[in-house]
Amino acid sequence: MERFKARKIDLEGGENKVILNKSDASRLGLFSQSRVKVIKEVSSVTAIVEISHSLVEPGEIGLLPQVLSKLSASEGDTLSVVPKGKPASVEHIREKLQGKELSEHAIREIISDITDRKLSDIELSAYVSGIYAHGMNLRETKDLTMAMIETGDVIEFDKHPIFDHHSIGGVPGNKITLLIVPIVAAAGLMIPKTSSRAISSAGGTADIFEVLANVTLNLHEIKSITEEIGGVIAWGGAVNLAPSDDLIIRAEYPLRIDPYAQVLASVLSKKKATGVEYLVMDIPVGPHTKVKSMEMGRKYARDFMALGDEIGIKVRSALSYGGQPVGDAVGPAVEAMEAMAALEGLDVPNSLIEKSTELAGMILEQGGIAQGRGKEKACKLLSSGKALEKMREIIHYQGGDPDITSSRVPVGKHTYDYLAVNDGYIGSVNNHDIIEIVRASGAPYHKGGGLILNKKRGDKVEKDELLFTIYSENENKLREASKLALHLEPLSIEGMILEKHPDHRSVWS
């Protein structure tokens, strides 16, 4: 065992990295990518070695802030270092790459090593690649889900049952949670919704609700607010529920791959850890969403239900239309504004009301309080103002301004109107293009960045009519976003007549 003096190396990291001087590394037989155990008294961390000639002196060990804090160590502390071999989970990852079925034990080892950040990026990527290339059967997926739950915290509710909903895959403008949670809670059921921030989208539900209230809640707050008023909308990243998920995304995201079994396990492990007993899955289907065909959507629907049965969550699934944005607004502030307007009973797009009340209704039926007329009951809770009242209560409990109204939500001050270049009908709205334009406008980091559609698929338009308005907090960003919009043309305009026969292309003419 060798002793080193700790030195902080301030890098944001995925891998647990430590940096050794070349001379120390050579003496210990360590290379770039070797692994060591770093020990301070009773705590220890396994880390990946990087080598430097001068960033640390001989006798020093450089540690990332995350490693220092895990060891409760400070600069100057004396730490012991022991070379470590490869964890056994790397063998199991290789088995999966060979197409083998993994045992429960193997899956637990992999997830536990991922959670402890014992795997290098190369090893983590091979895990994700293996699951993507060869898949997992239901038994493996169940073991994966349970392992992901057991390597994190869980919420134990004193009251039951607990309901929830979840949408997989990105459809822009999907602010339905801001309607569903207050409707369900207003009906007297409990729905502790945790949600994500945007990674590649224009804004996750957590980004949207953060416009209205604080979403960084701890487990105790999620539990107590839910038990007290029925609903909460929190950021999942602030709590340690199925934490391996975020670490696995680190490899999935740059590769843009979503291994099927990992998607199932990722969703249901978070729900189970949150204490959810009844779940409605929303599966948007459309050309620019994760799920591109009804067939694939049905497979997800069936498999979420089957996996739910295995781990003790009653799942119902709904395939929804994902061909264009839900509602008209895309971007954190404009979506919060549109959701508040819906709760206030103002005129909002029918797609938003339809989708939210259908899904909320399914939850009410699961809760046994709607006798097959869930949607009707959900609509009533919305139109009566009870959902709005509940929303104000949730906002208040989460530290926001309960008197907020849709007209006072602060959207970007700088706007650009995008006009139709000719007459016709909207043939399609490209979700990807919409997201790119909204991100260019500054979202999700600038909450005021966004876009409001004035026309959607099938609408008739005339030349110079408004198609959409871009919002931004910043003139430069607005210019970038409008340039991008002019380049991408996210709404296609078609004449009603698509072809005429005989035409000049006909060989017979």
Provide, rounded to whole angstroms, the least separation between the CB of residue 63 and a copy of itself: 13
Angle between helix 121-134 and helix 244-255 axes, rounded to 10 deg:
80
Does position 196 interact with a copy of itself (CB under 8 A)? The reply is no
CA torsion sign for 131, 318, 199, 148 is: negative
For residues 124 and 283, which CB has a smaller minimum distance to a copy of itself in the complex? 124
State the Rg of the chain over Cα: 26
Provide, rounded to whole angstroms, the least separation between the CB of residue 209 and a copy of itself: 22
Does position 140 interact with a copy of itself (CB under 8 A)? The reply is no
> For residue 377, which phi and psi values (nearest 5 degrees)?
-65, -40
**Binds a copy of itself by CB under 8 A, chosen from 97, 154, 311, 488:** 97
Nearest residue to 325 (alpha-carbon basis) of 121, 490, 140 = 490
3-state SS class at 24: helix
For residues 14 and 402, which CB has a smaller minimum distance to a copy of itself in the complex? 14
On the 0-12 / 13-18 / 19+ scale of CB atoms within 10 A, 134 is middle
Please tell me the distance from the alpha carbon of residue 174 to that of residue 319, in angstroms, as a whole number. 14
On the 0-12 / 13-18 / 19+ scale of CB atoms within 10 A, 234 is buried
Does position 445 interact with a copy of itself (CB under 8 A)? The reply is yes
**Binds a copy of itself by CB under 8 A, chosen from 129, 194, 244, 357:** 129
Q: Are 401 and 356 in contact (CB under 8 A)?
A: no
Provide, rounded to whole angstroms, the least separation between the CB of residue 20 and a copy of itself: 10
Does position 125 interact with a copy of itself (CB under 8 A)? The reply is yes
Does position 262 interact with a copy of itself (CB under 8 A)? The reply is no
Please tell me the distance from the alpha carbon of residue 245 to that of residue 280, in angstroms, as a whole number. 21
Stretch that binds a copy of itself, among 95-103, 260-268, 331-339, 417-425 (CB under 8 A): 95-103
**Number of residues in contact with a copy of itself under rule CB under 8 A:** 47
Please give the residues from 328 up to 357 whose contact with a copy of itself meets the rule CB under 8 A: none
- The b/e string for 457-481 (b: 16+ C-beta within 10 A; e otherwise) is bebebeeeeebbbbbbbbeebbebb
Please tell me the distance from the alpha carbon of residue 2 to that of residue 29, in angstroms, as a whole number. 13
The 3-state secondary structure of 69-95 reads HHCCCCCCCEEEEEEECCCCHHHHHHH
**Binds a copy of itself by CB under 8 A, chosen from 5, 37, 84, 94:** 94
For residues 26 and 72, which CB has a smaller minimum distance to a copy of itself in the complex? 26
Stretch that binds a copy of itself, among 70-78, 214-222, 253-261, 388-396 (CB under 8 A): 253-261
**Binds a copy of itself by CB under 8 A, chosen from 28, 55, 249, 305:** 55
Q: Which of 121, 258, 328, 417 is catalytic?
A: 258
Does position 244 interact with a copy of itself (CB under 8 A)? The reply is no
Q: Is 116 a catalytic residue?
A: no
Provide, rounded to whole angstroms, the least separation between the CB of residue 148 and a copy of itself: 20
| CA angle in degrees (0–180, nearest 5) for 191-252-126 | 130
Residue reference for tokens 């997800």 = 300
**Binds a copy of itself by CB under 8 A, chosen from 257, 296, 305, 319:** 257
Does position 90 interact with a copy of itself (CB under 8 A)? The reply is yes
**Binds a copy of itself by CB under 8 A, chosen from 59, 76, 99, 287:** 99
Does position 86 interact with a copy of itself (CB under 8 A)? The reply is yes
DSSP secondary structure, 322-374, as one string: -SS-SSSEESHHHHHHHHHHHHTT----HHHHHHHHHHHHHHHHHTTSSTT-H
Please tell me the distance from the alpha carbon of residue 96 to that of residue 91, in angstroms, as a whole number. 9
**Binds a copy of itself by CB under 8 A, chosen from 2, 5, 33, 161:** 33
Q: Are 33 and 120 in contact (CB under 8 A)?
A: yes
Stretch that binds a copy of itself, among 124-132, 178-186, 282-290, 385-393 (CB under 8 A): 124-132
Please tell me the distance from the alpha carbon of residue 194 to that of residue 233, in angstroms, as a whole number. 6
**Binds a copy of itself by CB under 8 A, chosen from 4, 16, 18, 19:** 19
**Binds a copy of itself by CB under 8 A, chosen from 16, 46, 120, 145:** 120
**Binds a copy of itself by CB under 8 A, chosen from 1, 42, 54, 503:** 54
Please give the residues from 269 up to 328 whose contact with a copy of itself meets the rule CB under 8 A: none
The length of the chain, given as a count of residues: 509
Residues designated catalytic: 258
Site residues (vs a copy of itself, CB under 8 A)? 9-14, 19, 22, 26, 29, 32-33, 50-55, 86, 90, 93-94, 97-99, 120-126, 128-130, 132-134, 250-251, 253-257, 439, 445
